[in-house]
């Protein structure tokens, strides 16, 4: 177990202190790939961070060292595929602010974090660090923080949801119960294609919810994806290029 927290920023190409840049985030100047190299992706374009930027990521709660380190280690799975760096700090000041005391896992999409009140978290990681899916959940939420949307809401996903069962399941689950409106918004409604770029539907994306057969009509299921997929990597590399 680690006794000293590994807070070292990684892959920073520029001064990580330039956090005030957050206020003037300008997607038009974000170093986005040009031309026909980038077709589509599952990422919401206007929500992207400025390419090459250091993101300050704050732990709002007092977590034990191992818990923090597990979050850091999981989040860093994205770093080889993005031209960004993560600076983890304690306190309430950060582009991304993590709270762990709410009974939910969620994250604000990309630069929408800048619109959240500075006293409020932009990411909730209520998952217990001993949970078998801890790492997957943290990677998934950081995917949102980088601008990635849900793959099961891809316009070509065509998942044969058994809607009444989906409502029942997500409204009544113990961890992270969702309201009917949230279920519509986070599960059923395809994302707005005018805001987004997307590659062909990727069943293996870490941004895809697992789909139990009991929640679909006919025989359709998808186990939990535990790794950042090939397409997830491809998209992040296109959007935050070196
Ligand atoms: Zn999600």
- Tell me the C-alpha distance between 207 and 197, whole Å: 14
Cα of 124 from ligand 1 centre, angstroms: 11
Cα of 87 from ligand 1 centre, angstroms: 22
* pLDDT tier for residue 39 given thresholds of 50, 70 and 90: very low
Q: Which CATH architecture has domain 39-239?
A: 3-Layer(aba) Sandwich (3.40)
Cα of 92 from ligand 1 centre, angstroms: 23
Cα of 15 from ligand 1 centre, angstroms: 31
> What pTM does this model have?
0.84
Does residue 171 carry a pLDDT above 70? yes
Which residue ranges make up each domain of the chain? 39-239
- Identify which of 121, 112, 118, 105 has the alpha carbon closest to the alpha carbon of residue 43: 112
Cα of 207 from ligand 1 centre, angstroms: 6
* Environment class of 223 (CB within 10 Å of its CB; exposed 0-12, middle 13-18, buried 19+): exposed
Per-residue confidence (pLDDT) for residue 10, from 0 to 100:
54
pLDDT single digits (tens) 19-32: 333 334 534 433 44
- Tell me the C-alpha distance between 148 and 209, whole Å: 13
Which residues, other chains included, contact 172 with Cβ-Cβ below 8 Å and sequence gap of 6+? none
Higher pLDDT, 195 or 155: 155
Query: Taking a C-beta distance cutoff of 8 angstroms, is the pair 209, 217 a contact?
Result: no
Cα of 206 from ligand 1 centre, angstroms: 9
pLDDT single digits (tens) 200-233: 999 999 999 999 999 999 999 999 999 999 999 9
């Amino acid at each position: 177990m680690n006794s000293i927290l590994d807070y070292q920023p990684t892959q920073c190409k520029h001064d990580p202190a330039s956090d005030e840049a957050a206020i003037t985030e300008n997607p038009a100047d974000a170093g986005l790939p040009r031309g026909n190299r980038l077709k589509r992706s599952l990422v919401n374009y206007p929500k992207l961070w400025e390419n090459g930027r250091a993101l300050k990521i704050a732990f709002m709660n007092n977590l034990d060292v191992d818990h923090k380190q597990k979050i850091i280690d999981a989040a860093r799975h994205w770093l080889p595929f993005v031209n960004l760096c993560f600076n983890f700090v304690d306190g309430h000041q950060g582009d991304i602010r993590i709270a762990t005391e709410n009974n939910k896992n969620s994250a604000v999409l990309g630069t929408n974090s800048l619109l959240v009140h500075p006293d409020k978290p932009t990411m909730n990681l209520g998952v217990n660090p001993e949970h078998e899916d801890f790492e997957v959940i943290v990677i998934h939420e950081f995917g949102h923080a980088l601008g990635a949307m849900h793959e099961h809401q891809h316009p070509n996903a065509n998942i044969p949801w058994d809607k009444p069962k989906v409502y029942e399941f997500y409204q009544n689950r113990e961890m992270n119960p969702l309201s009917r409106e949230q279920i519509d918004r986070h599960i059923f409604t395809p994302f707005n294609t005018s805001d987004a770029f997307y590659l062909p539907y990727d069943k293996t994306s870490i941004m895809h919810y697992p789909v139990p057969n009991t929640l679909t009509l006919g025989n359709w299921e998808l186990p939990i994806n535990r790794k950042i997929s090939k397409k997830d990597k491809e998209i992040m590399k296109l959007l935050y290029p070196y």
